[in-house]
Amino acid sequence: MVEGFLKHVVTALMIRARPYLFSFWPLLRILLLFFKSTGLEDYSIAAGIADTTRSTGRRCS
């Protein structure tokens, strides 16, 4: 629910800031990476890697 709200806010900001998009592109990339890293799918992938590491004793490449 919070992620959906944040995506809505970011989308609204991007629509309003379209003329300034290129000047704020580094900031937008940082924000997008931050929101992407807080996603639940990233946690499930990290948990899967941790389970694989724990069960085999070595990290999968």
- Is residue 40 a part of any domain in this protein? yes
Number of compact structural domains in the chain: 1
Contact between residue 10 and residue 24 where contact means Cβ atoms under 8 Å apart: no
Distance CA 60, CA 49 (A): 8
Q: Enter the pTM of the model.
A: 0.28
Q: Which residues contact 21 (CB under 8 A, 6 or more apart)?
A: 14, 28
- Is residue 61 a part of any domain in this protein? no
* pLDDT tens-place string over residues 20-58: 656 666 776 777 777 676 664 555 555 555 554 445 455
Domain hosting 11: range is 2-56
